Amino acid sequence: MTFDYDLFVIGGGSGGVRAARIAAGEYGARVALAEESRMGGTCVIRGCVPKKLMIFASQAEALAAEARGFGWTQATAGLFDWQAFRHKLDGELTRLEGAYTGGLVAANVDIHKARARLADAHTVELSNGQRLTAKHILIAVGGRPQRPGIPGEELGLISDDLFLMEDLPGRVLVVGGGFIACEYATILAGLGSRVTVAYRGDAMLRGFDAEMRRFATEQLRMIGVDLRLETDPARLDRRDGAVRVTFRGGDTDDFDHVMFATGRVPNTAGLGLDDLGVALGPRGQVLVDEWSQSSVPSIFAVGDVTDRVNLTPVAIREGHCFADTVFGARPRKVDHSLFGAAVYTRPHEVASIGLTEEEAGERGPHDVYVASFRPMRSLFAGSDARAVMKLIVEAGGGRVVGCHIFGPEAGEMIQLVAIPMGMGATKAQFDAAIAVHPTLAEELVTMRRPARHIGMGGSDKTVGAA
């Protein structure tokens, strides 16, 4: 059978763009890509990039306060101009969108600005009426924010809406306890909004190391966020120009806006996958094997739509490995067992790779090394904020299997820790590295005595305890 293309990619996010560019540009495949919105997907247009720029903007007042601690007596952040920031942000996102599009054009990928759905295992139908065939089809449509399913939920915003707001809210409720909720609360509080966070758990950042969760939770309080844990909104109503929130338990409060950061789900609705017999999971995710192949042999999927590890660099790696395997005769799989992650809160970030202390304790004996200290820079300026670094090590000085950092630029540090951990480095090899002084990162190679032993078959033992 003759096909219009060797590969048709549905979705112009990081994973889909990488797969298309490598397949066409490096291996000479005939490739087309359809994107119904802006090129770059969630990360570039509605996530990582604009969010990080907003984090930078939100720190101006804190940086001015720090400067005063260093003797700059008239240091001030001045007034924040949301409209000016949005205009500049829009320009930067347009530039990045152009770079993504330019890379595809340079690789000779045909771009279709249209919504796509599958008509059969080799045919894509576009919203403009075109029908195109391909030997292979790659689903890379990512995920979408979900609402909590309560009465009046339509009165709330989703995470995407932060970048489209005409004005900053005076008072805002952020609902959720994950990294998006933490980062959005940090941003809005730093830009001057009065922020409340409602989360049904007892600490933020479910899934992270418990010690890091405690510090992240307290830091939100420290920057002025009103944390309401172990509660959830039960309904939303419009009330005199505001949104009235009724919480579980009956309490009510009014806000200018309510923003739901209650998770994301794979964006598979309306793609026609059910009709083709493509196996989907309970959240609507495309079920794939280790080669990113679905239950229909010609259809593959990468990125958040598979609900494996929902991080942009993982989607990029999956897309690249798919192209290498299918078009480059270089079979490659993605190891999803070890990946770094960072939560860009301020003043301190949370970053993690490998096992948490709780996970390690369930697997057997491990040693936990912890350094807790007040960083020199913020200490001198008058801050009481503490940084914490933790290494999880196989008992007896074996491999480092987990690293967790709460501190300034933790994300930058965890990226470098990922290299030795990926190579199976031992605690002795960490110790052999000569420290760079004075730095925060030197603590990672100067912890000589474990704080406690875990997974011992009984009560965990704290070193030095009676």
Cα separations (Å) of 48 from 51, 163, 195, 289, 400? Answer: 5, 12, 21, 27, 28
Domain 153-262 fold: FAD/NAD(P)-binding domain (3.50.50)
Asked if 55 and 28 count as a contact pair (C-beta separation under 8 A), the reply is: no
Note the pTM of the prediction, 2 decimals: 0.93
- Predicted confidence pLDDT, tens digits, the chain (466 residues): 799 999 999 999 999 999 999 999 999 999 999 999 999 998 999 889 999 999 999 999 999 999 999 999 888 888 899 999 999 999 999 999 999 999 999 999 999 999 999 999 999 999 999 999 999 999 999 999 999 999 999 999 998 898 889 899 999 999 999 999 999 999 999 999 999 999 999 999 999 999 999 999 999 999 999 999 999 999 999 998 899 999 998 999 999 999 999 989 999 999 999 999 999 999 999 999 999 999 999 999 999 999 999 999 999 999 999 999 999 999 999 999 999 999 999 999 999 999 999 999 999 999 999 999 999 988 898 888 899 999 999 998 799 999 999 999 999 999 999 999 999 999 999 999 999 999 999 999 999 999 999 997 654 666 544 3
Domain ranges (residues) in the chain: 5-144+265-328, 153-262, 348-448
Amino acid at 433: A
pLDDT of amino acid 466: 30
Task: Report the catalytic residues.
Answer: 437
Q: Binding site for FAD, residues? A: 52, 304
pLDDT number for residue 465: 40
**Superfamily covering domain 348-448:** FAD/NAD-linked reductase, C-terminal dimerisation domain (3.30.390.30)
How far CA 74 is from CA of 5, 64, 67, 78, 371, in Å, comes to: 63, 9, 9, 11, 35
Q: Give φ, ψ of 275 to 5 degrees.
A: -65, -25
pLDDT at 384: 86
Q: How many whole angstroms separate alpha carbon 234 and alpha carbon 249? A: 9
What angle, 0 to 180 degrees and rounded to 10, lies between the N-to-C axes of helices 312-327 and 14-25?
Answer: 30
160: DSSP letter = G
Q: Which CATH superfamily is domain 5-144+265-328 in?
A: FAD/NAD(P)-binding domain (3.50.50.60)
Would you state the pLDDT for residue 284?
95
- Does 5-144+265-328 match 153-262 in CATH topology? yes
Question: What residues form the annotated binding site?
Answer: 52, 176-183, 263, 304
Give binding residues for NAD(+) as ranges.
176-183, 263
